Structure 1
Amino acid sequence: MSISITPPARERIRQFLDRTPGAAGVRFGVRRTGCSGFAYVVDLADAVQPDDRTLDVDGIPLIVDARSLPMVDGTVIDFRRQGLNASFVFHNPNATGECGCGESFTVG
């Protein structure tokens, strides 16, 4: 199981964690949605659930549920600013397609 976080994404995630000292870590996974099937979920986690796996990624506790694990294995999480917009960007080798708006993806 391998998930990487780029330096800009690490900095942004640490900002969120520093503002929420009680957080168990950052939840990363997928949910069913959109026109292609799945969308990424990145949120602060209050607790670790029994079916979660916690990864230490450069000092960041990354919490991934068992259902999402095979779909996000190998993903690189990045953070980009373009003008007034800022967002996390995901480079997922398991994604076989994305919708036109970039909000959802499919896996083979």
Structure 2
Amino acid sequence: MKTAEIFDPNAPAVTMTEAAVRHFEKKLANQNGKIIRLSTETSGCTGYAYVLDFADGPEAEDEVLTPSASITLAVAPDALAILRGTEIDLVTEGVNQVVKFNNPNVVAECGCGESFSVS
């Protein structure tokens, strides 16, 4: 049985889990006034790669989100269609913690996990 997903035009383009929020709050604590900027670039064997950077502020036309009171997340306008609905998470894999992107638009990922493609 399929369920219908309800489109919410007011929903944020990208969200963060509590684990990701705590992780980025710690990272930003030593980065006076910096924000996080999320974009994509053409890369790898399947098409795109996520790019997370610290920035002084959003660029023109970025979608600006506030996942918490101390985090500002700017999403590049050319990446919005690819990233819409993505949840950023922090997961533990073995002894490492890794930032994961749970992107519903991804149709394929490369074997090493560095790049992805969308339909």
* TM-score of the aligned structures, taking structure 2 as reference length: 0.83
Is 1:96 equivalent to 2:107 in the alignment?
A: yes
Q: In the alignment, which of 4, 19, 32 is matched to residue 8 of structure 1?
A: 19
Counterpart amino acid of residue 61 in structure 1: T
**Aligned counterpart, 1:47:** 57
Runs of 4+ more than 6 Å apart: none
The alignment yields a C-alpha RMSD, in angstroms, of 1.3
Aligned length: 107
- Structure 1's unaligned 5+ residue stretches are none
Q: 1:76: Cα distance to partner?
A: 0.6
- Structure 2's unaligned 5+ residue stretches are 1-11
SS at structure 2 position matched to 1:56: strand
Is 1:57 equivalent to 2:67 in the alignment?
A: yes
Is 1:75 equivalent to 2:86 in the alignment?
A: yes
Structure ID, larger Rg: 2
Q: 1:51: Cα distance to partner?
A: 2.7
